[in-house]
Structures are given as structure tokens and as C-alpha cells.
Amino acid sequence: MRRMPERFRHAAIVGKYQARGIRPVLEDIAHFMMGLGLEVSFERETAIATGVTGFEVLDPAAMGRHCDLAVVVGGDGTMLGIARELARHNLPLVGINQGRLGFITDIPIDRFKDALAPMIAGDYEEEHRSMLEGGVWRDGERIFEGLSLNDVVVSRGATASMVELRIDIGDDFVANLRADGLVLASPTGSTAYALSAGGPILHPGIAGWVLVPIASHTLSNRPIVLPDHAEVHITIVAGRDASANFDMQSLASLLHGDQVRVRRSAHKVRFLHPRGWSYYATLRRKLRWYEGVV
């Protein structure tokens, strides 16, 4: 994490446009930033779905070319979707949470003015989060590719009882696993599905992944923390209708012999936080670690 004295000039707004009554909130944020001297545009799908007018409308590629900041309003799911699109453009992201405190959308909606004003002037904390990328190979050909900020999940079909997976890391065969599935998570994703499956929390400053079995048939199959420099191969050995999910992108009905390959992405996501932001404070609030403290 580091501080960079940068004064922003053109911001794009991305919103959870399915949320009821979000249009006035988005417009309030837009007018506030304009009052601070910024040019403001809206992400195309956000503008169309909410009916916001009077602002330039940009798709993610155009946002990457013309904007120097993206303000994301919603929850962690909204942030995940746009972060994958904007990571390749190195566009910094600020998350404003419209509901409960999120892990990566950390500014409460009722405090956005106090938080955004100094950040837009260049007073903020910056961190870079690693990503996963890869795809599915069948008979030597790639049939699917994906990019993830959180995780890659290989899991059994809805009607199947279990899936058997072969796990290779680099040139090493690691294990054959019979389970409901397997989660390969980045440090960011270690507080998502991997955590609910019993995995550890990885600080985002760690250059690693966590590999977590989902309801393993063998109790000795435990979560393991891996360095993120080797490619991970997950091969479908047995089981029907298995699927591979890269965050919100999925491929269902995998066949025996199909292989999910995952490596560290060359792209990273840039997150900006208010000065004084703490990863540990986020964990404490989100996971309610303060309970019992007087």
C-alpha cells in the first residue's frame, strides 16, 4: 500500500443499477464531484438501467481511455464485475457501499462526501490486488477463458453427489481429491467462498493463493496456502456436470479429462481508500471481531 499525490480530473460512476432508488444517489455523487471540479461520466449499463441523463456515457474500454478514476456504488459484487473490466487499463477504483460494509467497497454511503473530497484532491491510500486468469482446456484446445479477482471454483453438478479432481501445481502432482468441489482463491477472495468453506484469510499483501476443498470426502484433504508463481491445473477425473466459475463467469457441463488451468494475471486492480484506512479494521467490522469488547 502506498500514497500517491495525484489530483483527479475525470471520474466515471458505476452503480448497482438493480438496487431500488439508486438513481438519486448516483446523481448526488455525480453533482458533488462536479462541484469539486471533476468532469463526470457514467458507465453505459448504469446509465441505461437507471435512466440517468445529462452525462457522457462510456463503456469500460472508453472509461479506461478517458477517465483517471472510477467510483463504484453498490456492494462487493458490483465492484468485482467492473474491476475485471478495468484492471487492464490500470484505472483506480473507489468503492462506496450502499448497504452493509463490504470488504472492497468500504466507504459508507452516508459518508461519501467527507471521504471523497480529500481523495479527489490526492489524499488517499492506494493498494494493488492480484488477480487470477486462465481457462478450460479440452483435447488440447482452450474452450473457455476467464479472469477473477476473487476465485476460481470447480464444483460438482446439481444432481451429482461428488466430483473427483486431479490437482497439479507447476510440474508437481499434488493430489486426487473427491469432494463437492475446490476453491482456488486470491487474497481478496480468501474472505469470500473460500472462507465459508473453511479456508484461512490471506492478507492482500501476500503473494499467494489459498486452495480449499469443498466438503472433501477425506478429512486429510486440508486447505493449503500456495505461492502464486506456479500454474495450477485442475483435471476432471470423475463426476457429472461439473462446472468452472471465474468469479461471475462460468462454464458448466465439464467432461472427464477437461482441465482448468489457472495462473497469476499480469493485471492488478488498483483500489483507493480514505487516508487512515486499515485492512484489519475492515476485517474487524465485517467479521464482527469486536464482539465482547467493552
* H or E element that contains 137: strand 124-138
Contacts of 114 (CB under 8 A, 6+ apart): none
Distance CA 178, CA 112 (A): 47
Q: Return the axis-axis angle of helices 22-35 and 112-120, rounded to nearest 10°.
A: 40
Query: Which alpha helices (H) appear in the chain, and where do they start and end?
Result: 22-35, 44-50, 60-66, 76-86, 112-120, 193-196, 279-286
Q: Within 13 A of 72's CA, how many CA atoms are on the CB side?
A: 28
The Cβ of residue 54 has, within 10 Å, a number of other Cβ atoms equal to 9
76 belongs to the catalytic site = yes
Tell me which of 59, 76, 139, 247 is the catalytic residue: 76
The Cβ of residue 280 has, within 10 Å, a number of other Cβ atoms equal to 9
Three-state secondary structure call for residue 111 = helix
Look up cell 483435471; give the residue: 235
Give the DSSP letter string of 11-76: EEEEE-TTSTTHHHHHHHHHHHHHHTT-EEEEEHHHHHHHT--SSEEE-HHHHHHH-SEEEEEE-H
Catalytic residues: 76
